[in-house]
A = this chain, B = another copy of it.
């Protein structure tokens, strides 16, 4: 019979609501997609959509330091999902999906679609569109 905690101003803050919503969505992602974290899964899909992208450009796109990207790319490469290939500018590594990376990317897209359906089930179609538009105004 514990009284609920007083929340103070928190529930009226955009940042707080974002954090709580994201935690809920991430939990569903882990359950219904699994295998890769949302961030890593997103990178795999970005590489799929941009074959040969230099890893520095990918780091820039997802706002990671390029030294951080080294470990991320290492782990995807260790799992046999992508490979580095020396670029024309020989300082760069182009990133390419392997065959099994392509297979996983396809499976991820299907599972993410299902996950998205579960998350969006709490919203009407127009609410979902509205939410995405509003989030787009914040992000960047």
Q: How many copies does the complex hold?
A: 2
Main secondary structure of the interface of A (DSSP, over half): helix
Known A14-B132, A112-B13; judge A58-B25 contact (CB<8 A): no
Chain A residues 24-48 with CB under 8 Å of chain B are 24-26, 29, 38-39, 42, 45-46, 48
Are A130 and B132 within 8 A (Cβ)?
Answer: no
Interface residues on A, range: 35 or more
Partner of A139, one of B7, B24, B61, B134: B24
| Contact (A24, B119) CB under 8 Å given A13-B112, A15-B38 | no
A9 within 8 A of B: yes
| Separation of A21 and B139 alpha carbons in the complex (Å) | 4
Q: Quick one: closest B residue to A28, CB to CB?
A: B15
Alpha-carbon distance A14/B123, docked complex (angstroms) = 11
A103 within 8 A of B: no
Interface string of A120-139 (1 = CB under 8 A from B): 10110001101110111111
- Nearest chain B CB to A87's CB is how many angstroms away? 13
Shortest CB-to-CB span from A38 to chain B, Å, is: 6
